[in-house]
Structure 1
Amino acid sequence: MNIRKPFIILMFLALSLIIVGSVAGQNSQPNRSEAIQLQTIPSIHLQAGTFTPALDQTLDLPQTLTTQRAIDANSEAYYIVQFSGPVSAEWKASLEQLGGSLHGYIPDYAYKVKLTGRQAAAAANLDGVIWVGIFEPAYRLAPDLKQGGLSLYRIRLESGADVTAVTQLINNLGAAVYKQDGNFLLVAANSFQVDSIAHILDVAWIENFVIPEKQNEFGAGVIVGANTANANGYDGSTQIAAVADTGLGGGTASTAHADIPAGRIDAIQNFQGADSGGCYTVIGDGPQDVDSGHGTHTAVSVVGDGGSSGEGKGTAPAAHLVFQATEDYTEFTGFCSFFYTDGYYLLGLPDDLVDLYQPAYNAGARVHSNSWGADDNGAYTANSVST
């Protein structure tokens, strides 16, 4: 007995390491006892594609964008943990009790979770879990990512990431980090470097860098049917609306616009963009609408009271306004000057739009109007995630 007991313990430890290695290195086997009872077997929907792990489906990914090494029991990685149905609070709590940190929902019924290899093996055996798989580097790339030579990219890091450490790793690859705003980085890199960046642990998403463009040049009554709403007595008199755009009139409540009385302007917030060393310099001019008048136009289309005959009336002609000015003159330098010419740009918009919405909310706004965007054909971007 005294001889066999240590042998049994050693066998158990060896078996445990094999189990941990198999789950951590790649993906767990689907829990078919759970999945086979489902009327509809859930799939995983990513921008990289859709697949159903319970049916042994996988995505055909480039070898350079998959995890080739085995993840040992104590090393961390990001996993997809998929459940058999709508995720209950108890199921989420069981993941957190393992020590995992949740980093966003993935349809259907899954979460991205940061786990050690040992925790991932344990997660595969939790109630309701039907599959645990590596969140591959390929899943971190926008489908329309520019390929080939040097380009500008916007990179979002996971919450809790060591931004300084990730920045150093990117620089070590030969790419250039031009700007850091919270958990976002502006990076110049080529395709080979981008593939390597996708392997960095706390990189969440890589997309093409685009500067937001001014949009919406048409009146509110046509866009959202405000004429009908106003005719039925809805005028926004109990609301505070926020507008983020270029600037507002002369930059003060008294010089905003004749159709927006100063008494209805609760706040004007100025968001001056930060310089990006080696890429661009922002020359601040305050909250006034210096260049196109676009911000004044959009503000009036939201809260303007119009003329005596109703001309120029906005959607909510009695609402109060919080305006956020985000445009300044920008001079581009170095590599970035090949992509953009000097001029007025909306570079005051924060990379994390929560930093735009929260000050407006704190000022009382519960509606936020944005007449700007990017030429990305409706792609689900980091801005979509923030919103």
Structure 2
Amino acid sequence: MRNRIAAVHTVTVSLPARGDLVVRGAKGAHDRSDFLLVRVVTTDGTEGYGEVSATPLWSGEDGTSAQHFISGVLTPALLGRPLAPVGALESVMDRALAGNPFTKAGLSTALWDAYARGLGVPLATALGGPYRDEVPIKLSLSGDGADLDRTYAAAVEAGFRSFKVKVGLGVPGDLARMARARELAGAGVFLGMDANGGWSRAEARAAVRGLAEFDPAFVEQPVAPGDLAGMAALRSAGLPVIADESVFGVDDLVRLVRADAADVVSLYVGKAGGPGRAVAMGGLAAAFGVDTLIGSNGELGLGAAAQLHVACALPELSTGLPSDIIGAHYYAEDILEEPLDSDGVRVRLGSGPGLGVLPRDDIRRRFR
């Protein structure tokens, strides 16, 4: 008898970020997150876990909307269906609910986790890999003056040696912030910059020229997400351009490729709608010569584990640009029974089945 979906349970978790690592960018401060954790149970008793990592300001989704759609729309559409192939279940979710990729990604991750656990293999293996067993990572630096100094000191204490600076908050302030970050980090340390779409075209041109003296490794989302022509024009400056907010799903990626608008695309499990779709988008980007890295929406432990498995399952992943798998460091506490193997320089893939991690026992008891 085929293994089928027997139940879907959820639990909400709200956590503050570490005060000394709070990210402040063009879209505001990310000082806490409300998560919806998801558990899928199959007819043979296998459990799979996922996480909805969404913030209303950025994605238009959060734990409240995710819980409503998962319990009232997606679960009724999935119950009783065979677990495999998981891709078919993702199509069922699309037919039941428009948009909401982060919500679908949390449930999709739980389905993939259950599928891989049933096979007794890591999720990266179920997704077609692994092509690597560790991923280099970086951390965002933000704030000004003493705030920036404090964030940098905390990041270094946590083990980080590669960084990106939040800019897009006005060119004069961006110049001062990047200058101070370079002074703190020293020459030769990996230091990129992320504008979160906060610059106009004119500001972006001025900023890229002015900031060149601080040897930035890249500029991420320099202009508004829909301004692909503006991004394409900036590539002539010779600085690698990363597309983040410009690319959610496959359609966005196709438009980006056609516009020749970026050197690198920042892939998210959440933006893509799940682990399998993120890997598929990475393959499409690679086919057109666009590099990939794993970006972050401030994922917690389960989301960070999903990021890691996707990164390891991608046939092509940037080796020169670290990814943003930071969940083990960013929050005041960890929800995992055992944390990911991360030292701030890289995060390493374990050998356990599925995501290879579980929520803490006190959290597992709260699922309903």
Please confirm whether the aligned pair reaches a TM-score higher than 0.5, indicating the same fold.
Answer: no
- Provide TM-score, normalisation by structure 1: 0.27
More strand by share: 1
> Which gives a bigger RCO, structure 1 or 2 (Cα 8 Å, sep 6+)?
2
Structure with larger Rg? 1
- Provide TM-score, normalisation by structure 2: 0.28
More helix by share: 2
